[in-house]
Amino acid sequence: MVNKYNEKAAKLELGQCMHGTVGDLLDEGSRSSPPLNGPEFHNFDLAAVGMAFHHLAEPPILLQQLKKRLRPENGVCLVIDHARMYSETHMRAMFEEAGLGRDFRYKILEEPMVVKSQGWSSILFMARGQVENGAQ
């Protein structure tokens, strides 16, 4: 999937500024993925997690790892997932614990996500927060 992403970016002539990499932020010592601690994996404006949060055993750890890779002065983390699994209160607590509580917002999306091939739909939320001032 990452190769297809990179191929599409190249076709759109965006290969210089868009590139996907396979890695595991939750197990950086893993032999199956390359280390993600180089400078090219830090100082991002935005880190987004789409429809993967509910698969994690410990989502707060991922938020902490993403925060380490955001710009310290104004980096933004965005999570989109199933609303039935994460309330605003729960998400706010995780974002704050990770140092991403500044300007926290949570919104239930009006249109459900429909997966016709599977015959189901789900109401989604978006949560976002910024790196807190002074947080490292």
| Each residue's pLDDT tens digit, 51-96 | 999 999 999 999 999 999 999 999 999 999 999 999 999 999 999 9
Question: What percent of the chain is predicted at pLDDT more than 70?
Answer: 93
Q: Please report the domains of the chain, with CATH numbers, ordered by start residue.
A: 1-41 (no CATH), 43-136 (3.40.50.150)
Asked if residue 115 has pLDDT above 60, the reply is: yes
> Position of tokens 């990770």?
98
Q: 9 with 19: CB under 8 angstroms?
A: yes
* Contact of 75 with 47, CB cutoff 8 Å: yes
Q: Is the pLDDT of residue 114 over 60?
A: yes
Q: What is the pTM of this model?
A: 0.86
Do 65 and 26 meet the contact criterion of CB atoms below 8 Å apart?
yes
d(CA 88, CA 85): 10
Q: What is the mean pLDDT of the chain?
A: 91
